[in-house]
Amino acid sequence: MHRSLGLHAVALAGLCACGRVDPGAEAKHEPASPPAAAAEQRPERHAAAMPETFAGFPQPELANLDGVWLVDARQPRHGVAWMIEAEGSKLTILDRHGRETVYDVTLGSPCALRLIDADGVAETRSIALSEQRLIVTSKGAVAVAAPDGSMLACFGHRTYQIAADGRCRYTTETLAAWTDPVEADDACELEIVDGARSLIIAGQRLREHDGVWLDEVAAEDPAVRMEDRAAAPPAITPPPEAESEAATSETRATDSLLGRRRAHHHAKPLHAA
């Protein structure tokens, strides 16, 4: 009997020991902090440093952009509201459906804005700012002039630099770094016709408007400063009659296309006599 009791006591003691928690064990099993490599994988939030050759060109002061702007308003159905704050560093774009997208804003070059969304995806818009006039365009060409007569132009993904002696080179921003300048195959020419100067780049003609140079597309993209945020929705939402007219035009275009296809399908082949 005494021997059996002793064995039970030993077994119970072993069970108690197994259930006991070592204070130091918790610290050993705590989740490890994210490695430094993972922290470095966060989205890039800044534009690449500009090449030194851009330094001589006037740069727009982003703080002057704070406010609400109507952008891309050439057609009533395509306008959006830009709400810029924090001295030009934060942009909220409101579309006609009430959807908002927030971007960090930096100056990509003297004639381009770099917009970076929450996922780190960036897009570029050409920009020209002269006093209270703001031009924002994704398709047009914009140029600025330096005091020495050289010019810098933003057109698509290329940034052209035209020296005072007429030499023309371009560079692009790739993977947050600027490529080396490349001689442009297409001519960059500065013409003077009837006393008015114009710059030709890649087949596009830019003319001077209040100190900035714009092609025809960019000249049609002036942003309109609005009184406040409350004025944005009515400005970007087309009236019902505009919606109806646009829908009717689209229906007519579709019907016309279908009619041409049916006519082509039923047309009889011509046979030579």
| CB proximity list for 260: less than 8 A, separation 6 or greater | none
User: In the block, which residue shows the tokens 């398709």?
Assistant: 139
Model pLDDT for residues 77-89, shown as the tens digit of each residue: 678 999 999 999 9
Q: How far is CA 136 from CA 146, 190, 203, 223, in A?
A: 21, 23, 20, 7
With residue 37 as reference, give the H or E element that holds it: helix 36-39
Cβ(69)–Cβ(145) under 8 Å? no
Model pLDDT for residues 38-49, shown as the tens digit of each residue: 434 444 456 688
CA distance 214 to 204: 9
Please give the mean pLDDT across all residues of the chain: 77
pLDDT of residue 112: 95
| Amino acid making up residue 211 | G
Cβ-count burial of 50 within 10 angstroms (0-12 exposed, 13-18 middle, 19+ buried)?
middle
Cβ(68)–Cβ(231) under 8 Å? yes
pTM for the model stands at: 0.68
First-to-final CA distance of the chain: 125
Sheet with 188-193, strands from edge to edge, namely: 182-183, 168-171, 158-162, 151-155, 141-145, 212-214, 204-209, 196-201, 188-193
Helices (H), strands (E): how many in the chain? 6, 19
Q: pLDDT category, 96, cuts 50, 70, 90?
A: confident
Would you give the DSSP letter of residue 183? E
Average pLDDT over residues 138-144: 92
Model pLDDT for residues 228-250, shown as the tens digit of each residue: 999 988 888 876 654 445 445 55
Cβ(184)–Cβ(168) under 8 Å? yes
Beta bridge pairs of residue 83: 68, 92
User: Residues 109, 45, 224, CA angle at the centre, nearest 5°?
Assistant: 55
Cβ(190)–Cβ(201) under 8 Å? no
